Structure 1
Amino acid sequence: MDNQKGKLYLIPTTLGDNEPLEVLPLSVKKVIEELDHFIVENEKTARKFIKRITPRKSQPSLIILKLDKYADQLEVRTYLDVCETGVSVGLLSEAGVPAIADPGAEIVKLAHEKGIRVVPLVGPSSIILAMMASGFNGQHFTFNGYLPIDTSERKAAIKSLERLSKEKNQSQIFIETPYRNEKMFTDLKSTLTPGAKLCIACNITLEDEYIRTLEIKDWKNEHPDLHKKPTIFIIHKE
């Protein structure tokens, strides 16, 4: 690996509208202060975050490259060319850590192809924080992303995850689009067996953080407000 090349810094962000230094180490602020080149999913929110963590940093000097579903893939492959001249680049997630349930993974892959050093920085991951707080098997777990939207397919997926959890003693983690959380919760209660355990972790690190693990038969008497709130669901069947 060429030490004269710039580095790719994987920069975590907050999971919501809280003060960055409440959940991020000072090292993140120091790295952002040194960088002018950033790859981001949303320019507006990225600039807001950068300004919040480093208020004195010059916004006009920032070079922002967008990595979203509309990004031209040939152009994306040029995003790290500046590293060849010794300039380092920061990769920012919309929430949490880059490249985990996040499109930034393709930039990290590109960095390895080009022999560019990848430097992950410490920050909050809702997936890991939820797993930590669940009380489930932290030695063996799987993140499944989003389940199907179709009701019958989603219920089949839920049953499959319950079966896998029991067979492998494996915690099954997944997410949902926030405005569909209530529907997901209803389907989980009607599909999982009464003794299956479900952890719901909502708005992690924020003031109204909600994390609870119960058996399904007990969840039927609980009514947490999950509407439009980022939520992690974890199933475990013993």
Structure 2
Amino acid sequence: MSINDIFYNTPHPSNQPDHCKMQSKELPSPGTLYIVATPIGNLRDITLRALDILSAVDVMAAEDTRTTANLLRHYSINKKMMALHRHNENATVDKVASLLSRGQSVALVTDAGTPGISDPGGILVKLIREQGYKVVPVPGPSAAVCALSAAGITAPHFLFYGFLPASGGPRRRELEALKSQPYTIIFYEAPHRILECLTDLVEVLGDQRRITIARELTKLFETIHSCELRDASAWLQADPNRQKGEFVLLVSGAVAPNPAELPEQAQHILKLLLRDLPLKHAVTLSAEISGESKNTLYSQALLLQREQNQQK
């Protein structure tokens, strides 16, 4: 008996509601683009629906055809493929549109995870939708959600950022822009930049925030470690193997300052300076005049700025 026999042909009680019954094997519709999520490591994480679509579409558009070929071989799928990656995505749109116009079905996949999520696909989907073709998501693995689910973070909201800029200056500028966000922020990072990234996180966000470092998710050496930012770099350097693999970083959001922590005089100085100076300059001068922590003053300044914007 095959897996299809087990999942598609097993009888169900007649009194079971429709939404609980296993649907029949899905066949792709003509002229439709399917956005198919694929495993981020463990090949068994692929969904039955994804296998249905990949088995039956006319053409697959893959980020790296060699990587996707390994997945297809594992499931005995033989499929015509075309390359679609960040260097040729714009140029490939017309090819995909031409296939769809002839009534063919196309599946878009990336090397791992969900297309368009820090991976190629967004441009294709936007332009194909604008041309009036149907786009159907086939959901599945995502490294960000996978890491978040196992991190034990209780905050109800999060902000997905993806990959920070590769070089230090632009990376720190992006972190400055994110510094005041009260949400858990999710980053992706490559192994050769992980230590530099952690250094910049500490420099810009401070060393007291919590971070969860998730690496090699769903793979043999999967690791999920939580600590304060000040301890993250030392933990990674304690074992060179911890610096290998693809990383998901989950950093706790900014905490609104307690006005009671700032003396009344320091708050007064800050408010006066904010009337005429840019926020960063006002904070620096306030710290020099009052002797209070620049981080505390910065957080308070952001809070005051938000209150002023809400009153406008």
TM-score (norm 1): 0.81
Aligned pair 1:233/2:246, yes or no?
no
The CA distance in 2 between the partners of 1:101 and 1:156, in whole Å, is 19
Checking the alignment, whether the CA contact within 8 Å between 1:137 and 1:171 is kept in structure 2 is no
The CA distance in 2 between the partners of 1:220 and 1:84, in whole Å, is 52
How far residue 5 of structure 1 moved from its aligned partner, in angstroms, is: 4.4
The CA distance in 2 between the partners of 1:183 and 1:23, in whole Å, is 32
The residue identity in structure 2 corresponding to 1:219 is A
Question: Given the alignment, which residue of 59, 77, 82 partners 2:99?
Answer: 82
The residue identity in structure 1 corresponding to 2:201 is L
The CA distance in 1 between the partners of 2:166 and 2:89, in whole Å, is 28
How far residue 230 of structure 1 moved from its aligned partner, in angstroms, is: 0.7
Partner of 1:36: 58
How far residue 38 of structure 1 moved from its aligned partner, in angstroms, is: 0.8
How far residue 76 of structure 1 moved from its aligned partner, in angstroms, is: 2.6
- Higher normalized contact order (CA 8 Å, seq sep 6+, divided by chain length): 1
Partner of 1:51: 73
How far residue 95 of structure 1 moved from its aligned partner, in angstroms, is: 0.9
**1:171-216, CA deviations, whole angstroms, 9 ceiling, x for partnerless residues?**
1121222322233234435554232111111111112111122222
The CA distance in 1 between the partners of 2:91 and 2:168, in whole Å, is 37
The residue identity in structure 2 corresponding to 1:172 is I
Partner of 1:207: 220
Partner of 1:101: 118
2:108 is paired with a residue whose SS is strand
The CA distance in 1 between the partners of 2:176 and 2:91, in whole Å, is 40
Closer/same/farther in 2, CA of residues 160 and 115 from structure 1, 3 Å limit: closer
- Segments of 5+ residues of structure 2 without an aligned counterpart are 1-28, 256-312
The CA distance in 1 between the partners of 2:120 and 2:89, in whole Å, is 13
Q: Give matches, 1:1-238, under 5 Å.
A: 5-16=30-41, 18=42, 20=43, 22-53=44-75, 55=76, 57-58=77-78, 62-71=79-88, 73-136=90-153, 139-161=156-178, 163-165=179-181, 169-189=182-202, 192-219=205-232, 222-223=235-236, 225-236=241-252, 237-238=254-255
1:78 is paired with a residue whose SS is helix
1:204 is paired with a residue whose SS is coil
The residue identity in structure 2 corresponding to 1:133 is A
Closer/same/farther in 2, CA of residues 187 and 64 from structure 1, 3 Å limit: same
The answer to which structure has the higher strand fraction is: 1
Closer/same/farther in 2, CA of residues 75 and 196 from structure 1, 3 Å limit: closer
Instruction: Report which of the two structures shows the higher radius of gyration computed on alpha carbons.
Output: 2
Closer/same/farther in 2, CA of residues 191 and 129 from structure 1, 3 Å limit: same
Checking the alignment, whether the CA contact within 8 Å between 1:181 and 1:228 is kept in structure 2 is no
Closer/same/farther in 2, CA of residues 36 and 227 from structure 1, 3 Å limit: farther
- Identical pairs, percent: 28
The CA distance in 2 between the partners of 1:79 and 1:119, in whole Å, is 14
Number of aligned pairs?
Answer: 224
The CA distance in 2 between the partners of 1:5 and 1:114, in whole Å, is 15
Please provide the CA RMSD for this pair: 2.6
1:198 is paired with a residue whose SS is strand
Partner of 2:22: none
How far residue 221 of structure 1 moved from its aligned partner, in angstroms, is: 5.2
Closer/same/farther in 2, CA of residues 210 and 88 from structure 1, 3 Å limit: same
**1:64-113, CA deviations, whole angstroms, 9 ceiling, x for partnerless residues?**
22212442734432313222232211001111111111111112112311
Closer/same/farther in 2, CA of residues 45 and 219 from structure 1, 3 Å limit: closer
The answer to which structure has the higher helix fraction is: 2
Closer/same/farther in 2, CA of residues 94 and 138 from structure 1, 3 Å limit: farther
Closer/same/farther in 2, CA of residues 75 and 194 from structure 1, 3 Å limit: closer
